[in-house]
Structure 1
């Protein structure tokens, strides 16, 4: 293995995974909702933001729609 490598001649190419990257967003969540996912994160060892993303992805995959009625 070389101590140094010359990368100046290396050709660049676009990141093939760039389209799959996550986009940072700001959301307002109820404390109880956040506590629920943080507690689940402690139990599973999966970060709470990942759990929220997985749950929303599951809703999307199963085409769940929310039924909101203001009576």
Structure 2
């Protein structure tokens, strides 16, 4: 190992913008259990599976089949699924 290094010719990582970003989301227990079970069947981590599914949805321009009822004063917003 050298005692010093010359970084004058160094450049930023060109792939830095493609890196993943850690986020926190709230997921229903049943939904999480579904993806965890599926990930065991496919032998991949469940976070990777969820990320891949979200990538497919984004690439296809998929939109949720639900509506969002806005919250009024002192009310909680609710998701209204189509029937």
Return 5+ residue gaps in structure 2 as ranges.
68-79
Match of 2:11 in 1: 13
TM superposition outliers: structure 1 runs of 4+ over 6 Å: none
Structure ranking higher in helix proportion: 1
More strand by share: 2
RMSD between superposed Cα atoms in Å = 1.7
Structure 1: runs of 5 or more not aligned:
none
Task: Give the match for residue 65 of structure 2.
Answer: 67
Mapped pair 1:25 → 2:7: no
Count of aligned pairs between the two proteins = 68
Question: Secondary structure of 2:32's match?
Answer: helix
